[in-house]
Structure formats: C-alpha cells, structure tokens
Amino acid sequence: MTVSQLSVPTRPRTWPRVAVVVGVIVAITVLTTLPALGGVNIDLGAIARNWGNGSERIGKLFPPDPSILPRTWKPLLETLEMALVGTAIAALLALPLSQWAARPTNPSRSRIVVRGVLNVIRAVPDLVYATILVAMVGVGALPGVITLVLFDLGIVVKLVSEAIDSADASYMEAGRAAGGTQTQINRVTAQPQTWPVFASQVLYSLELNVRISSILGLVGAGGLGRLIDEVRGFYRYGALSMIIIEILVVVIAIEIASNVLRKRLR
C-alpha cells in the first residue's frame, strides 16, 4: 500500500489556538511593562548604575552578625506565639465554617453567603490587614493575631470545604434517612470523615503563619518584623542576614515537623 492510498484524517490545527494564547500573554506583558501606563519599568540601566554601592551593601550581608541573636529571642518567641494562637483560633472557627461552606454538609442557601464572605476575606492580603488593624487598635500582638486568623480562615475554609464538596458523601443520605438533623449528621459522621483534610490544612496554615508573622512587625504588628525594620533602618546588613537565617531555620523546622505529623494523620 502506498501512502497516497491511505485516507488520513485531516490533522486538527492547534496552532491558531497556540497563537492566540501566546498573543494574549505577549499583549499583557507589553501592557504591564509600559511605564507610561503605570506598568513596570524594566530598568536594567538602574541596576548597572546602582551596582557599585548596592553590591557593597549586599556584600555586608556576609558574614552574618551573631551579636544580634540575644535581642532576637523575645521577638522570635512572640512570632511563634502569634502564629500558634492565630492558627488555633482560626481552626476553632474554621471547623463549623467549612461545614457551612460545603454543599453536602449545608444544602441550604446560607452556604453561598458564607462562601461570599470568605472570598472577600481572602481577597485582602495579610499585611494589608495588619497595616489597617495596627492603625485601628495600636501597635502590638493583637493586630498580628487577628491578621493571621483572617488569613487562615480564608485558606482553611476554602480548601476544607472544597474537599468536603468533592468527597463521597453517601453517608449523608443514611443520616437523613435515619431522621437526623444536618447538624447531627455533620457532627457525628462528616466531622471524623473530613478530619484528616482539616488537620492537614491547619498544619499547613501554621507553616505559613510562622513565615507571615515574622514580617508582620514591619508594619507594627509584633514579632521579629519590628527588629527587621530596625536593623534595616540602620543598614546593619550582617544582623539582617542573621535574622533571615533564624527565620529560615524556624520555618524549615516547622515545615519538617508538620510534614512528619501530616504523614501520621493518614
């Protein structure tokens, strides 16, 4: 058989779609890099001009200056405490909220309201909350904890309620057939059923919280961030790098611990 005898179906043309995608990406990139429109001015010249004294300062990051360490212990403790308390409060609130936000555990329309409110909460970045809350209630740990609670609620409720939505919920029908109220069904069966997802998301939010709460102090909300702001103001780059290393060690330690815990949950 020769090739000409084969009836080959015409090859679907994918290149127009690829071209459109590439075109859109290029267009948005051009729009976002036009300084006249408020876009990012990719000014490589500035880097060249600032390289001299800038690189000298960055060079001062090494070696890290351990003399700052004794001053870091208290703010570090505060950072960890804020992260922990924020996660705990958020977990307590997220348990009922994620059931209210998922279809199987809340067939009524109130689900949409809960989801809407949480979408709004999630749309505001963490440090924006902190900035505003500091202006409202004053400098300290309180605005930090509230910020973390709001941030955690956003992600935990979203992820857990989505997990409830996509999981098999046939046990709901049995609870209904037995004459149970939705609350009873949620408490006795849905809660243990979603516990692993819930616990895993809470641990994840604890990891993120340590990372966030270490910088909340930059806007006055307590923890290591205040110290970062101070050493940065005095161009103490050795001290800055020491603090960064400290954050790094703590964040990675928490990440490892939470990974170990998460494996045991399964």
Q: Quick check: 145 binds other proteins (CB under 8 A)?
A: yes
Asked whether position 41 contacts other proteins by CB under 8 A, the answer is yes
The reply on whether position 19 binds other proteins by CB under 8 A is no
Verify binding: residue 71, other proteins, rule CB under 8 A. no
- Alpha-carbon Rg for the chain in angstroms: 26
Q: How far is the CB of 6 from other proteins (least distance, A)?
A: 21
* Cα four-point dihedral sign 145, 151, 153, 155: negative
Least distance from other proteins to the Cβ atom of residue 207, Å: 10
Tell which one of 179, 234, 260, 263 touches other proteins (CB under 8 A): 179
Residue 255 binds to other proteins (criterion: CB under 8 A): yes
Considering beta carbons, is residue 5 or 189 the nearer one to other proteins? Answer: 189
Which of 218, 221, 227, 242 binds other proteins (CB under 8 A)? It is 218
26's torsion region: left (phi>0), alpha (psi -120 to 50) or beta?
Answer: alpha
Q: How far is the CB of 243 from other proteins (least distance, A)?
A: 9
CA–CA gap between residue 169 and residue 31 (Å, rounded): 46
Q: What's the rounded Cα separation, in Å, for the pair 109 and 96?
A: 16
Q: Which two tokens stand for residue 3?
A: 């090739």
* Cα 74-79-80 angle, rounded to 5 deg: 100
User: What residues between 113 and 132 interact with other proteins by CB under 8 A?
Assistant: 119-120, 123-128, 131-132
With CB under 8 A as the contact rule, which of the stretches 1-9, 62-70, 107-115, 208-216 interacts with other proteins?
208-216
Total of residues contacting other proteins (CB under 8 A): 88
Residues 209 and 152: beta-carbon distance below 8 Å: yes
Q: Which is nearer to other proteins, 104 or 111 (CB)?
A: 104
118 exposed, middle or buried (CB, 10 Å; 0-12, 13-18, 19+)? buried
